[in-house]
């Protein structure tokens, strides 16, 4: 037991030594317009999804500009109800090779008004990552507030510039203020249902089939009984 406890304490100490605390202050619309601010020019809304992505530049390259450069393909949406140029459906929780989504957040209303007395949007991000090899960070934003399972939705999305981790930064990386990240691109996105959800869907479909069979059986029995009664 003593050895196990010592190993656990050693592992915790190693993790703390390698852990990196990152802080970011994201903002949109501060003093944008004396008559009032809005998120529409960024193609965002309150609750829009924010993803923090990190990677090690010694083994991975910076993200490309297009959807195919940043997301894995899930399928196609030939009906194209939103009239997009690209009908490909992408997975929003995937990344380029070697890149990791290390934190997620949403666009929030700021706790105080701007200098013009108007509402603006401010998301304070503070998280810890265990991997010390990450030396690059960028942000992905989506217009969508959630992605559906079982059906694609069109959403604007965009990337920030890539920030480089300063030399000598060991346990903290205070990135600070980072404003006006836009979402100029628009594509279809869909998420893959979790295995548990898939199982429930299969069970539900099975229940519907069984229920339909039972209804048909009852209807057939009722019809047979009606025919017998008529003959009498």
Q: Are 143 and 187 in contact (CB under 8 A)?
A: no
Q: Which residue has the tokens 């979402």?
A: 183
Alpha carbon distance 190, 122 (integer Å): 27
Alpha carbon distance 2, 21 (integer Å): 31
Short-list 34, 183, 209, 60, CA closest to 118: 34
Short-list 190, 188, 184, 116, CA closest to 150: 190
Alpha carbon distance 48, 107 (integer Å): 5
Alpha carbon distance 158, 172 (integer Å): 26
Q: Which residue has the tokens 């600070």?
A: 176
Alpha carbon distance 89, 87 (integer Å): 6
Question: What pTM value is reported for the model?
Answer: 0.78
For residue 105, what are its two tokens?
């957040």
Domain extents for the chain? 2-192, 194-232
Short-list 117, 137, 121, CA closest to 129: 137
Sequential pLDDT tens for the chain (232 residues): 565 443 444 333 343 456 999 999 999 999 999 999 999 999 999 999 999 999 999 999 999 999 999 999 999 999 999 999 999 999 999 999 999 999 999 999 999 999 999 999 999 999 999 867 899 999 999 999 999 888 999 999 999 999 999 987 778 999 999 999 999 999 999 999 876 544 444 445 455 444 555 555 555 554 444 333 333 3
Q: Are 141 and 183 in contact (CB under 8 A)?
A: yes
């Amino acid at each position: 037991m003593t050895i196990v406890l010592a190993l656990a304490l050693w592992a915790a100490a190693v993790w703390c030594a390698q852990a990196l605390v990152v802080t970011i202050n994201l903002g949109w619309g501060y003093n944008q317009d004396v008559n009032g601010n809005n998120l529409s020019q960024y193609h965002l809304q309150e609750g829009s999804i924010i993803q923090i992505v990190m990677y090690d530049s010694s083994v991975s390259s910076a993200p490309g500009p297009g959807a195919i450069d940043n997301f894995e393909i899930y399928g196609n949406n030939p009906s194209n109800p939103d009239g997009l140029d690209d009908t490909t459906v992408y997975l929003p929780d995937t990344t380029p090779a070697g890149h990791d989504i290390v934190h997620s957040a949403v666009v929030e209303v700021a706790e105080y008004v701007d200098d013009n007395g108007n509402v603006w949007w401010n998301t304070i991000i503070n998280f810890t990552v265990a991997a010390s090899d990450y030396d690059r960070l960028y942000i992905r934003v989506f217009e969508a507030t959630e992605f559906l399972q079982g059906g694609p939705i069109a959403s604007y999305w965009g990337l920030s510039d890539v920030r480089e981790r300063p030399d000598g930064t060991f346990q903290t990386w205070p990135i600070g203020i980072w404003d006006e990240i836009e979402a100029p691109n628009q594509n279809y996105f869909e998420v893959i249902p979790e295995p548990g959800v898939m199982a429930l869907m299969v069970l539900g479909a099975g229940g519907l089939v069984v229920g339909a069979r039972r209804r048909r059986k009852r209807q057939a029995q009722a019809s047979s009984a009606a025919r017998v009664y008529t003959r009498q």
